Structure 1
Amino acid sequence: MKQFVMLVLSGLLMVSCQEVPKGYVINGIVENMPEGKVYLKSFRNKMFFDVDTADVKDGKFTFKGEVDQPLLFGLATDQMDYPVQFFIENVNMNVAVDPEGETITVENSPINDLFRENATKVFEKGYNIDSLVNKYPSSPVAAFYLYRYFTYQLPLQQLTETRNQLSQNLADCPYVKDLDAIIEQLNHVQIGQKAPEFSLPDTAGVIVSLSDFKGKYVLLDFWASWCPPCRKENPNVVKAYQKYKDKNFTVLGISLDKDKGKWLKAIEDDQLTWTHLSDLKYWDSEIPALYGIRGIPANLLLDPDGVIIAKNIKEEELHKKLEEVIK
């Protein structure tokens, strides 16, 4: 009996000493690409960064690693214009993707089921982010979608109320932390508040400050050459500028470009004859964050004292507001 007990304890000890599997394993297939490379990219602040590379052999690849919590990543090949997105959690996942990044399937990952289910819905008019957060308050997917797509769509009060529905279990989630930072900043750039001061280089490299325009109505116009909706709105801004430029009004363009040549060409092509500023840091620029800007085009209208009197006014709404305040 004593020997039996010792054998059992010995067996348990051996089991306990074995390394418990942890981390993730991504077993992937790239359709119609027998050889090549696949890049794993982490996501932060609207951008993807390379974190690992795998060789594709016979159309298959593998990534192994560990994450502290489920996080959004991207997969890319040399043929892709933009990474395909999915969540990584510490499980074994089977992933299939096409070389152009048009489709991705992820098996054995409930988080990705929820992510894919809402991937196109979030762009539909009338999508109810409150419902998703209310139904899945502990899901990083709900936190991600709220942070990524609705910080510039929802009024501040509604955004704050929806954020407060998220579980305390997500307190360390980077999307919740970023969301809280955005809400904090938005509280300082509401209508009736003084616009934060900043300085940036103009097209010639000369440093220009917002305070240089004190005494004028100023439309702070956040845009970029690579942004189709911005380029579409530019003729409307040009029309407003031409009508009111001699009535104590100007536009101050703030670009999120990173290629100076493309920035300058867009200014010339769209005939944007007002002052333009950019540090060419894309979304890493501090100024969009200073103003709580999460998507472009975006704008703020300031009165001659630098007080915000309107936000995100476009098309006819822009002209109506200018007609109202500029006599």
Structure 2
Amino acid sequence: MKYPMTSLFLVASLLGVSSACSDAASSTSSAAETAAGPGYEISGQLRNAAAGTKVYLAELNGNQFVSRDTATTDAQGRFTLKGSTPEAALYQLKLDEQNQVLVSLDNKTKLQLTGDAKRLNEDYTVKGSKDSEMLQQLVRQLNTSGRQAQGVMQRYQNNAQAGRQDSMQALEAKFYAVQGQKTAALKRLIKANPTSVVSAFALSDPQIVNPDENFGFADSVATQLKKAQPNSRYTKALVQALEPLRKTAVGTIAPDINLTDPSGKTVALSSLRGQYVLLDFWASWCGPCRQENPNVVKTYQQYKNKKFTIYGVSLDQDKGKWEKAIQADGLTWTHVSDLKGWQSAAGQAYGIQSIPMNFLLDPQGRIIAKNLRGATLAAELAKRIK
């Protein structure tokens, strides 16, 4: 069972974002710039903030935060930040690593922010910016889902240590239900704000709303964003993220794979047409893959005589370890690999960035579902195979 981040609010963790400083000439917007034209203004007041507390403003630029400005609180915890931005963008307001929030700013934003300096990421309110308010809703949902998933995972681990397999399976189903509820809630939020930079941001990152698993939805939002904000960096990032997923989207014919099995025989994915096929990307060294294998084996045994089979593609590099894992886990279906690890031709053709990952194909070779885990694979087959 995959384990999500327990607090997805900290964007540095969420995106692998790092803090960085730019050249002084470009890192801070001056009062002169703001006076010369429109700009944003942040008026804040923080409870439990000592006079002189530093408030740092950094812009999310690519995969890092770039320092833009700094303010200092007065005796009442008040601070003001003013500046200008070339386009609507996401910014981080930070006191320290544990106390930071995301806001969205453009040159019309007059943002009011209040909160508790000791627990800012959990206790803050923003007004005056629809996008910032949307960010706050998104963050709250991610935090709620993260806490729920963490609780389920802890119970799962306790049952695993006690060897209670039935309870583990029920908790695994609960875990994926929590993930599904999170995604549904975030999609409702995005659907209500389809032309927001926040929507583009959320759909560009698999940790928020996985664009691969929700390609049709993400593509429809991208279409609206291209009309409303064609030059936005967030629109461009979403469009770029979706492009390699297009060829493996649900509804498309799966790209063919021609790789060798452990005996050296070349086996084409297309040779299995006429059956439902689970195209399963895994590796012997992948812990979550090995943990998932018992579920796959159980489903295979249930449906192998009902026009269902599996085509396993390993991202191994060591043939001996690959073969040993196949035998140890009882994986009695077709296996292929070019033993090139992450450079696997098949992995690159399908845009594989993490494993386990799978695609369910219908008898015509069309992708009908993807990333089926636990009981969801059996449930999907039950709907299709009578």
Instruction: State TM-score, norm by structure 1.
Output: 0.54
The CA deviation string for residues 138-194 of structure 1, in whole angstroms up to 9 with x for no partner, is 69x9649724534456522321244454744455998446413234324xx423x43
**Distance in 1 separating the partners of 2:345 and 2:234:** 23
Partner of residue 310, structure 2: 251
Contact 2:215 2:242 survives alignment (8 Å): no
In structure 2, C-alpha distance between the alignment counterparts of 1:172 and 1:321, rounded to whole Å? 34
Distance of aligned partners of 1:283 and 1:144 in 2 relative to their CA distance in 1, 3 Å threshold: farther
Indicate yes or no: 2:183 matched with 1:234. no
Alignment partners' CA distance in 1, 2:194 and 2:22: 23
Alpha-carbon shift at residue 209 of structure 1 (Å): 0.8
Change (3 A) 1:203 1:284: same
Aligned AA (2:18): F
**Map of 1:277-296 to 2, 5 A cutoff?**
277-291=336-350, 293-296=352-355
2:250 to 171, 174, 190: 190
The aligned runs of 1:42-191 (5 Å cut-off) are: 85-86=17-18, 88=20, 90-91=22-23, 109-111=58-60, 112=65, 114=92, 121=142, 124=146, 126=182, 128=186, 143=201, 146-149=204-207, 150-152=209-211, 154-164=213-223, 165=225, 167-170=229-232, 175-176=237-238, 178-186=240-248, 189-191=249-251
Deviation at 1:292, TM superposition (A): 5.1
- The alignment partner of 1:235 has SS state of helix
Corresponding residue number in structure 2 for 1:303: 362
Distance 1:142 1:172, change over 3 A: closer
Residue 213 of structure 1: aligned partner: 272
Render the CA deviation track for 1:205-263: whole Å, top value 9, x for unaligned.
43221122223332111223343332222101111222332333221111233444443
Letter of the aligned partner of 1:146 in structure 2? S
The CA deviation at 1:279 is 2.5
Tell me how far apart the structure 2 counterparts of residues 229 and 162 of structure 1 sit (CA, whole Å).
32
Partner Cα distance (1:142, 1:275) in 2: 39
Aligned counterparts of 1:321 and 1:226: Cα–Cα separation in 2: 27
**Could you tell me how far 1:136 is from its partner in structure 2?**
11
Percent identical: 37
Looking at structure 2, the residues matched to 270 and 137 of structure 1 have their Cα atoms a distance apart, in angstroms, of: 46
Q: Which structure's residues are more often helix, by fraction?
A: 2
Q: Which sits farther off after the overlay, 238-247 or 176-185?
A: 176-185
CA contact (8 A) 2:222 2:235 kept: no
Q: Kindly state the Cα deviation for residue 283 of structure 1 after the two structures are TM-superposed.
A: 3.7
Q: How far, CA to CA, are the matches of 2:194 and 2:342 in structure 1?
A: 31
| Separation of aligned partners in 1, 2:195 and 2:278 | 39
CA distance in structure 2 between the partners assigned to 1:117 and 1:155 by the alignment: 27
Stretches of structure 2 lacking an aligned partner (at least 5 in a row)? 1-11, 28-55, 66-90, 94-99, 103-120, 122-138, 147-178
User: Aligned ranges for residues 11-22 of structure 1 at < 5 Å?
Assistant: none
Aligned length: 232
- Contact persistence 1:185–1:292 (CA under 8 A): no
Judge conservation of contact 1:147–1:175 (CA < 8 Å) in 2. no
TM superposition shift of 1:85: 4.8
Q: Deviations over 1:92-125 (max 9, x none)?
A: 69xxxxxxxxxxxxx7743326398579958835
Taking only aligned residues, the RMSD between alpha carbons, in angstroms, comes to: 4.4
Q: Give, in whole Å, the separation in 1 of the partners of 2:376 and 2:274.
A: 23
Which segments of 5 or more consecutive residues in structure 1 lack a partner in the other structure?
1-72, 75-83, 94-106
Q: Give the residue type in structure 1 aligned to 2:92.
A: L
The equivalent residue for 1:314 is 373
How far residue 284 of structure 1 moved from its aligned partner, in angstroms, is 3.5
**2:327 aligned residue:** 268
CA distance in 1, matches of 2:380, 2:247: 25
2 CA distance for matches of 1:283 and 1:114?
A: 33
**Aligned 8 A contact 1:225 1:257 in 2:** yes
2: CA distance, partners of 1:174 / 1:200? 35
Residue type at the aligned position of 2:283: A
